[in-house]
Homo-oligomer: A and B are copies of this chain.
């Protein structure tokens, strides 16, 4: 596979940096090709602005429309187009970051804000005229693996942990961004206790990462419900007979099949 590894840590000499180097080596040994978007090293600009679109600042900026026009005309900022080329090349994305305030560091959030423009990552239309998203879209056919480190211990990020369940906290990225644009999203690798990790913990984290990377081409994705699979009504709510009476982000996963 062609793998694009997106990395958002300010310090290469960190647990995150070590895991990135280790993981890329594992992939190469497995016969895969790896390209990198090391956002801090690139000096990535995370702020969406008129200059991205060649937009005249004298005119009112409407981000969605301006980005779609600039993409269609091939005049998006060169740093955005370079990321588009990498994504077009990739069969899989690895998105790695330290969990800051229970989300992505700003430099990474701004990679999605600027790169995932309308007409490229979303807002594309299928043969039946419907806009494709949630299970289909501009980035369909690709796999995505999120790798994140958290200072908190595992129990605090579990299903009833005080911080909230990690997969719920990451829902805007996993479901709202990666699945939205059509990708198959693998369960995230959440490395907890990172602030107090010793050498044995680092080795365990590297082993856990290796296991995920070996399974990258074959692992079952999170079974999110596709928008056009019949599970949602015309007003975009889950059909009442599915996960009946329940609310919460987990209702957007299909139930596990009986074994």
Instruction: Say if the beta carbon of A207 comes within 8 Å of chain B.
Output: no
Q: How far, in whole Å, are A112 and B175 apart by their CA atoms in the complex? A: 23
**Distance in Å: Cβ of A117 to nearest Cβ of chain B:** 11
Which of A76-132 touch B at CB < 8 Å? 98, 100-107, 109-110, 112-113, 116
A161 in contact with B48 given A63-B10, A101-B172, A250-B248 (CB within 8 Å): no
Are A156 and B47 in contact (CB-based, < 8 A)?
A: no
For A131-144 the 0/1 string (1 means CB < 8 A from B) is: 00010000000000
Instruction: Say if the beta carbon of A255 comes within 8 Å of chain B.
Output: no
Are B177 and A101 in contact (CB-based, < 8 A)?
A: yes
| Closest chain B residue, CB of each to CB of A252 | B164
Q: How far, in whole Å, are A171 and B161 apart by their CA atoms in the complex? A: 14
Residues of B contacting A48 in the complex (Cβ-Cβ under 8 angstroms): 10, 100, 105-106
Instruction: Say if the beta carbon of A54 comes within 8 Å of chain B.
Output: no
Are A11 and B62 in contact (CB-based, < 8 A)?
A: yes
Residue from the set A162, A235, A250 with the largest chain B CB neighbour count within 10 Å: A162
Instruction: Say if the beta carbon of A30 comes within 8 Å of chain B.
Output: no
Which of A29-70 touch B at CB < 8 Å? 40, 46-50, 60-64
Are A13 and B104 in contact (CB-based, < 8 A)?
A: no
Using CB atoms and an 8 Å cutoff, list the residues of chain A in contact with chain B: 10-11, 13-14, 40, 46-50, 60-64, 98, 100-107, 109-110, 112-113, 116, 134, 151-153, 155-156, 158-165, 168-169, 171-173, 175-177, 195, 227, 232, 235-238, 243, 247-252
28 A–B contact pairs at CB < 8 A?
A10-B48, A10-B61, A11-B62, A11-B63, A40-B47, A46-B47, A48-B100, A48-B105, A63-B98, A100-B113, A101-B113, A101-B176, A101-B177, A103-B103, A103-B176, A106-B106, A107-B110, A153-B235, A155-B236, A156-B235, A160-B251, A161-B237, A162-B252, A164-B175, A164-B252, A169-B172, A247-B250, A248-B249
